Amino acid sequence: MNRKVTYFLILTFLMSFTAQSSVGFQQKLEHCPDPEVKKRLLAFENDGIEKACFTYDLEKVITYAESFKGTKHKMGGIDKTGIDCSGLVYSAHAKYGVQLPHSSQQQARFGLVIPTFSELKRGDLVFYYNSYKTANFITHVGIYLGHGKMLHTSSSKGVIISDVDDKYYWGERFLFGTRLNK
């Protein structure tokens, strides 16, 4: 094969892979009613999404994360003396060899995008926006436990279990989930 044909085949493969891997994100964009959120989602996508998936024991990660229940909130914290939402996700995954950044905004760039609550599976990460004032678009992350529940860190209550689609707070701030585990 000549170089041009090889290059074309590689480019075609990469384009089809990218199109497949972004289906969930594209669905989220298509069904986003708020133009400002849609604009911020597009800007977020431009900096990279669905960077990697990992293979790990999901139940061990969840069990370890659940051992933090009751731990107080501490911005920037990553252990049982105090932990924030992204620190909980970071620490639980790091214990089992999955290296993620310590930022919900950056953690949302990893894994396959899951656009709706109904498609979430146990162990998926769930991401929210506008939960506090910051320059970051994505401000909160939790670990989906199944049956509409997530484990996360509340700034006032510490590590707790809440409804992912709480109609008073979380439901209106939900962006998408990600599935890290292959």
Residues annotated as catalytic are 85, 140, 152
Residues paired with residue 140 on neighbouring β-strands, in sequence order? 128
Nearest to 66 by CA among 139, 122, 121, 128: 122
Residues 6+ apart with CB under 8 A from 52: 110, 111
Tokens found for residue 181:
């585990």
Phi and psi torsions of 61, nearest 5°:
-60, -45
